């Protein structure tokens, strides 16, 4: 599997694979979109780093490395489009989707919290949830089911996409520069992504603060 990912990272198809994975993981959270972004960004670091060997020779750099800028643009665009697709689906889902959401405690809680959060300018929850496992799905579907307006949801979705894309690609790219463009560097970056996800999950699962009483 590692060899396959390594070969894919050096192929122009990596952009399509990353975009498709990021687009669909709002519906299929098991897709390793973050791992793909990190792997591709680690490969991109190979185009800007060289390593001197013991004899003073320069290490070979792969001829085909992905463009970090294009990679981030693909991931950002796919993230926003996926969020909007889930948002629209939940907003127009009708009774069947409403019943499905009612059976899910996570979606019901998200719907209740997002009902006032987006309108009240507290949509930072959307940004935080982007890092949590399945948090993107819960928030996008919850916002749609709460019948929030697109203009309330879209700016926060775009900000979440910027934050997640920048963090994931930055982990892979700078990890590749500091630790080398190896699976060790990519592995450390993936662990840092999982750590951010665990922290985000903790934050969004905390009970909403009780309203102040006079």
- Residue 116 above 60 pLDDT? no
Q: Hey, what are 124's tokens? A: 């930072």
In the predicted model, is pLDDT for residue 213 greater than 60? no
Ramachandran region, residue 56 (left: φ > 0; alpha: ψ -120 to 50; beta: rest): left
User: What's this model's pTM, rounded to 2 decimal places?
Assistant: 0.78
pLDDT digits (tens, 9 = 90+) for 179-211: 776 777 778 888 999 999 888 878 766 655 554
Residue 170 has pLDDT above 90, yes or no: yes
Tokens of 80: 């926003």
Q: Dump pLDDT digits (tens) for 74-114.
A: 999 999 999 999 999 888 875 666 566 566 666 666 556 55
């Amino acid at each position: 599997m590692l060899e396959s990912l390594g070969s894919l990272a050096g192929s122009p198809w990596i952009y399509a694979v990353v975009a498709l994975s990021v687009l669909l993981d709002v519906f299929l959270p098991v897709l390793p979109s973050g791992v793909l972004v990190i792997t591709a960004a680690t490969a991109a670091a190979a185009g800007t780093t060289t390593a001197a060997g013991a004899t003073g020779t320069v290490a070979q750099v792969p001829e085909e490395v992905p463009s970090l800028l294009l990679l981030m643009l693909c991931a950002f665009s796919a993230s926003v489009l996926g969020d909007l697709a889930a948002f629209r689906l939940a907003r127009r889902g009708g009774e069947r989707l409403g019943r499905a959401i009612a059976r899910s405690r996570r979606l019901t809680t998200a719907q209740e919290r997002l009902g006032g959060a987006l309108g009240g300018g507290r949509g930072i929850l959307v940004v935080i949830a982007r890092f949590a496992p399945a948090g993107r799905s819960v928030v996008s579907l919850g916002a749609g089911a709460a019948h929030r307006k697109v203009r309330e949801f879209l700016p926060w979705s775009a900000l979440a996409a910027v934050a997640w894309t920048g963090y994931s690609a930055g982990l892979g790219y700078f990890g590749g520069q500091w630790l080398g463009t190896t699976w060790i560097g990519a592995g450390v970056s993936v662990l840092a992504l999982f750590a951010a996800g665990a922290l985000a999950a903790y934050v969004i699962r905390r009970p909403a603060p009780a309203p102040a009483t006079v």
